[in-house]
Amino acid sequence: MSKPRIIFALYHIYDRTFDNVDWREFKRIGIFSTKKQCEDVIETMKDSVGFRDYPVTCFKIFEYEVGKTYWRDEF
């Protein structure tokens, strides 16, 4: 049996408030084949305009198995 293919999604996620309305802001940075690629992109982007205004912990890496369903039966 072959090993499952894994991909890594890199997001920048932070909470915002405007006019007393709170929400979570999500920016998908990209999809990569290794976690190391994500980490390299974080190093490049963390000091860029906009991103540097938030802690580096706002960058989140999510690991996904290709071909796997991640949704529940209903919503």
Domain ranges within the chain, ordered by starting residue: 6-65
pLDDT given for residue 3 in this prediction: 83
pLDDT given for residue 1 in this prediction: 67
User: Per-residue pLDDT for 72 more than 90?
Assistant: no
Of 25, 20, 28, 21, whose CA–CA distance to 45 is shortest? 28
Q: What is the pTM of this model?
A: 0.86
User: Per-residue pLDDT for 75 more than 90?
Assistant: no
Tracing tokens 């963390």 back to the chain, one arrives at: 46
User: Per-residue pLDDT for 63 more than 90?
Assistant: yes
Q: How many CB atoms lie within 10 A of CB 51?
A: 18
Asked whether the beta carbons of 7 and 64 are under 8 A apart, the reply is: yes
Residue range 5-57, pLDDT digits in tens: 999 999 999 999 999 999 999 999 999 999 999 999 999 999 999 999 999 99
